[in-house]
Structure 1
Amino acid sequence: MLELLQNLQVTLLHTGYAKLGPEWDFDNVISPFIRLFYVTKGSATVHHSNKTFHTKEGHMYLIPSYTYNRYKSTPYHEQYYISIFEEVLSGPSIFNMRTFAYEVPLQEGDELLFKRLVKMYPERKIVNSDPKSYVHRPQELMAQNRQNAQTNTSRFLETQGILYVLLSRFVKNVVPNRTDQSNDYRFANVLRYISENLHTQLRVQDLARLCHLNTDHFSRLFLQECGIRPLKYIQTRRIERAQLLLWTTNQTLEEIAHKVGMGNFSYFSKTFKKITGTTPGKYRKQQKITP
Structure 2
Amino acid sequence: MIKRVLRHTFSLLNTDHVKLGNKWNYKNVISPYHRIYYIDEGEGEISDMEKVLKLEAGYLYIIPSFTLCNMTCQSYLSQYFVQFFEESSDGISMFANNRSLFKVKAKEIDMINFKRLVEINPGRGINRSDNPKVYEKNVYYKEYQELNNQQNMADFLETQGLLLQLVARFATAEVFKQKDVRYIPVKILDSISFIAVNLHLSLSVSFLAERANLNPEYFSRLFKEFTGSRPLAYINEKRIERAQYLIVTSQTNYSDIAEQTGFESLSHFSRTFKNVTGLSPRAYKQQVYNNGPQ
TM > 0.5 between the two? yes
Shift of 1:274: 1.4
CA spacing shift, 1:32–1:11, aligned 2, 3 Å: same
1:58 maps to 58
Q: Is the 8 A contact 2:9 2:160 kept in 1?
A: no
The separation in 1 between residues aligned to 2:149 and 2:114, in whole angstroms, is 21
2:283 maps to 277
2:119 maps to 119
What SS class does the counterpart of residue 27 from structure 2 fall into? strand
Structure 1 window deviating more from structure 2 (133-142 vs 264-273): it is 264-273
CA spacing shift, 1:276–1:126, aligned 2, 3 Å: farther
Shift of 1:167: 0.7
- Per-residue deviation, residues 19-68 of structure 1 (Å, max 9, x unmatched): 22222111111011101111111111111262211122110100000111
2:243 maps to 242
Structure 2 runs not aligned, ≥5 long: 183-188, 206-216, 290-294
Q: Is the 8 A contact 1:91 1:196 kept in 2?
A: no
TM-score, L = length of structure 2: 0.69
CA spacing shift, 1:212–1:25, aligned 2, 3 Å: closer
Amino acid paired to 2:8:
L
Does residue 260 (structure 1) correspond to residue 261 (structure 2)? The answer is yes
Shift of 1:173: 5.0
Where do 1:130-279 residues align within 5 Å?
A: 130-134=131-135, 136=137, 137-148=140-151, 152-172=152-172, 181=179, 197=195, 199=199, 200=203, 210=221, 237-244=238-245, 256-268=257-269, 271=273, 274-275=280-281, 277=283
1:84 maps to 84
CA spacing shift, 1:247–1:135, aligned 2, 3 Å: closer
Structure 1 runs not aligned, ≥5 long: 186-191, 214-224, 287-291
CA spacing shift, 1:269–1:3, aligned 2, 3 Å: farther
CA spacing shift, 1:61–1:279, aligned 2, 3 Å: closer
CA spacing shift, 1:68–1:101, aligned 2, 3 Å: closer
1:22 maps to 22
- Per-residue deviation, residues 67-113 of structure 1 (Å, max 9, x unmatched): 11112113321111100111123132110244997111111221121
The separation in 2 between residues aligned to 1:159 and 1:19, in whole angstroms, is 23
What percent identity do the matched residue pairs reach? Answer: 31
CA spacing shift, 1:251–1:279, aligned 2, 3 Å: closer
CA spacing shift, 1:63–1:77, aligned 2, 3 Å: same
TM-score, L = length of structure 1: 0.69
Shift of 1:262: 1.3
After superposing on structure 2, the runs of 4+ consecutive aligned residues of structure 1 that deviate more than 2 Å are 2-7, 97-101, 119-122, 192-202, 206-213, 230-239, 242-261, 265-273, 275-280
RMSD over aligned CA atoms reads 4.5
Q: Is the 8 A contact 2:66 2:99 kept in 1?
A: no
CA spacing shift, 1:112–1:212, aligned 2, 3 Å: closer
CA spacing shift, 1:88–1:259, aligned 2, 3 Å: farther
CA spacing shift, 1:278–1:195, aligned 2, 3 Å: farther
